[in-house]
Amino acid sequence: MDLAEIKALLANSDSQQRRKGIIALRDYDTDVASPLLIARQEDPEFTVRSFVAMGLGHKRSDAGFAALLTMIDADPDANVRAEACNSLSMYGDVAIPQLVSTFHTNDNWLIRRSILAAMIDLHSPEPMLDICLAAIQDKDMTVVNAGIDHLTTLVDTEQSAAALAAILPLKTAESWYTRMHVASALKRFDHPAAQAALIELRQDKHHKVIAAALEGLLP
């Protein structure tokens, strides 16, 4: 699709056509695509803005980075902010402080889970530990459980002991689903304390926790 057609689509009153134009920009270099994407960052349709955020992750530029930060801070839709966080992570190490800061200042479950997932590919143990410790204190159980799961990414890092220490107290969590995540996480740690906790969880009152603990004790 030529550039004139794309620009016409981006100006179309139909949001589906605008999304089509954004998708077509994937065939263009960053210096062409990025300004056109940024021009739609305040589109009235949230799905279009989500496509913009996604595009700015693939067509990386300084202006695109700044636009993503604006979307993370100001967009009214959590889906768009979460997509912007994911795209920001594609910029590499420079994105880490911004993602950590956003995690601590934004308690939306979708945004927090998106940041946890995005941080895996950045291979930065200390910031990952930082946000995981916040995640396991969250009021939303899906965030707590995601925090437990992501602590296991630190097993082979210098933050392994701290990650295990954070997981162990949750073996007595009120939610059986959280205790099941704990049992699954503990099997990743080759440490006597992890094995002892798994033995305790074999006596849990919920059968799914017991099953996860037994699996963790298999050689």
Residue 142 is predicted with a pLDDT of 97
What dihedral do alpha carbons 156, 158, 164, 167 form, nearest 10°?
A: -100
User: Average pLDDT of 14-35?
Assistant: 96
Four-residue CA torsion sign, 56, 61, 65, 67 = negative
> What pTM, to 2 d.p., does this model score?
0.92
Residue whose token pair is 């107290």: 169
Flag whether pLDDT at 218 surpasses 70: no
Which among 2, 95, 19, 105 has a CA at the least distance from the CA of 57? 95
**Mean pLDDT across 172-177:** 97
Position 219 pLDDT exceeds 80: no
pLDDT band for position 92 (cuts 50, 70, 90)? very high
Tell me the CATH number for domain 3-122: 1.25.10.10
Q: Do 177 and 185 meet the contact criterion of CB atoms below 8 Å apart?
A: no
Q: How many CB atoms lie within 10 A of CB 105?
A: 10
Using the predicted structure, report yes or no on whether residue 216 has a pLDDT greater than 80: no
Per-residue model confidence as pLDDT tens digits over 159-170? 999 999 999 999
Residue 81 Rama label (left phi>0; alpha psi -120 to 50; beta): alpha
Helical segments of the chain, H only: 3-10, 15-24, 30-38, 46-58, 62-74, 78-89, 96-105, 109-120, 125-135, 141-151, 160-167, 176-186, 192-201, 207-217
The per-residue pLDDT for range 124-160, each reduced to its tens digit, is 999 999 999 999 999 999 999 999 999 999 999 999 9
pLDDT of 148 reads: 98
Q: What rounded mean pLDDT belongs to the chain?
A: 96
